[in-house]
Amino acid sequence: MANPSLLILAGDGIGPEVMAEVKKIIGWFGTRRGVTFDVSEDLVGGCAYDAHGTPLTDATMAKAQEVDAVLLGAVGGPKYDSLDFSVKPERGLLRLRKEMDLYANLRPAQCFDALADFSSLKKDVVAGLDIMIVRELTSGVYFGEPRGIFTEGNERVGINTQRYTESEIARVSRSAFELARKRNNKVCSMEKANVMESGVLWRQVVQEVHDREYPDVELSHMYADAGAMQLTRWPKQFDVIVTDNLFGDLLSDLAAMLTGSLGMLPSASLGAPMANGRPKALYEPVHGSAPDIAGQGKANPIACILSFAMALRYSFDMGEDATRVEKAVEKVLADGLRTADLMGPEGGSPVSTSAMGDAIIAA
Ligand code: ATP
Ligand code: MG
């Protein structure tokens, strides 16, 4: 069987710094576990613009379509702020998402016990929390037509349209049900079927896909406003949540911050199944290029490392190895190791990006 293939696009700012730690872990898998990844590396974002005059070349795009998974660091930085919109670093990432048609955005909210004090919620509400929000990423109110600012009579009117087709709802709900089968077999779907037609259709289609293809998964429905309330009241009642683009935007940020620092949060964006049965996939930390700390060895590599763990689980069928990486992260945190972003106002002595990576490997 061919080796699993991975395209690394480290990008800008702290991207290359946090990615260096992932590369060490990939090396560890080769020497200690006998798992060799076919890794190729390329440019995306500002560094690609510097080299080629575009934030993503056609060749890189083609490569991304071929590999089992893409792992991305971060793009952008103040150096590129004045660039024309068409060549901005972020456009490289948007092109990847669009051309790979990555319609399911997975954002886990996972609370490591050692960091439970970081949450704004009570410790027992978040300790051990491990939920996954699946956000529809390519449709809904962000894309629906008509949209724009028009003149009506003697005033302006701003219009956006929430629009979902049956097939768009069905495919993202399949992503959620597939995930649930790899986790705790439980999905909660959120919409506003009480006030929105798209919500009514959403609820129907999710239920139909469930009854037809995933009757073994436990499915519930909740209005998104009630969902927001329940997420802060008792988040551990959920496992997988599936929702549309707009509600997912809000709910995934909310859920993410139940657990602490931006430097801890991984994500995956999945598309249609490829010939090997696994979805097209791009994994990346939630955080950006963090220009304020770039080049100083201060960045927390855990978000990027956990993104790689997600790749192991969802693209490479290496769930046990994903857990191995996550447990190592848990251990170093329990041992008290902290990068600067994980220190409270009382301070302490933070470890560097590479010291954190080394400790995770040792663990
Ligand atoms: P973008 O527009 O690229 O999303 P942003 O300004 O919204 O960028 P980040 O670049 O993620 O957000 O940075 C926000 C803050 O969080 C910064 O102060 C940054 O230093 C900090 N930060 C982000 N990622 C990390 C990390 N991995 N480790 C430590 N601090 C981080
Ligand atoms: Mg941002």
| DSSP assignment of 62-130 | HHHHHSSEEEEEE---GGGTTS-GGG-HHHHHHHHHHHTT--EEEEEEE--GGGGGGSSS-HHHHTT-E
98, 225, 327, 335: the active-site residue: 225
The pLDDT assigned to 187 comes to 98
The crossing angle, in degrees rounded to 10, of helices 15-33 and 353-362 is 20
User: Of all protein residues, whose CA lies closest to atom 19 belonging to ligand 1?
Assistant: 290
Mean pLDDT is lowest, of 14-18, 27-31, 121-125, 171-175, for 121-125
The pLDDT assigned to 344 comes to 73
Ligand-binding site membership of 296 (annotated): yes
The pLDDT assigned to 73 comes to 98
The pLDDT assigned to 120 comes to 74
170 vs 40: CA distance, rounded Å: 33
Whether the predicted pLDDT of 347 surpasses 80: no
Q: What is the mean pLDDT of residues 7-11?
A: 98
The pLDDT assigned to 182 comes to 87
Q: Whose atoms come closest to the Cα of 93: which ligand?
A: 1
Ligand-binding site membership of 216 (annotated): no
Exposed (0-12), middle (13-18) or buried (19+): which is 85, by Cβ within 10 Å?
exposed
- Candidates 93, 94, 287, 339: which one to mutate for ligand 1, based on the most atoms within 8 Å of Cβ? 287
Question: Which run of H or E residues covers position 157?
Answer: strand 155-161
Q: Is 292 in the pocket of ligand 1 (CB under 6 A)?
A: yes
pTM metric for this prediction: 0.91
101, 113, 130, 253: the active-site residue: 253
Q: What is the mean pLDDT of residues 158-178?
A: 97
Q: Are strands 279-285 and 266-273 parallel, antiparallel or unpaired?
A: antiparallel
Q: Is 76 in the pocket of ligand 1 (CB under 6 A)?
A: yes
The CA radius of gyration of the chain, in Å to the nearest whole number, is: 21
Q: Which residue, 130, 75, 112, is CA-closest to 313?
A: 130
Mean pLDDT is lowest, of 40-44, 61-65, 112-116, 229-233, for 112-116
Report phi then psi at 266, rounded to 5. -90, 170
Q: Is 262 in the pocket of ligand 1 (CB under 6 A)?
A: yes
Whether the complex's predicted ipTM is more than 0.90 is answered with yes
- Candidates 18, 257, 262, 302: which one to mutate for ligand 1, based on the most atoms within 8 Å of Cβ? 262
The pLDDT assigned to 255 comes to 87
The crossing angle, in degrees rounded to 10, of helices 15-33 and 302-314 is 50
Tens digit of pLDDT for each residue in 76-109? Answer: 999 999 999 889 999 999 899 989 999 999 999 9
Tens digit of pLDDT for each residue in 11-51? Answer: 999 999 999 999 999 999 999 999 999 999 999 999 999 99
How many Cα atoms within 13 Å fall on the side-chain side of residue 339? 25
Q: What is the mean pLDDT of residues 246-256?
A: 90
The pLDDT assigned to 261 comes to 75
Torsion of CA 245, 249, 254, 257, to 10 degrees: 130
Mean pLDDT rounded to a whole number for the chain: 94
Q: What is the mean pLDDT of residues 163-181?
A: 97
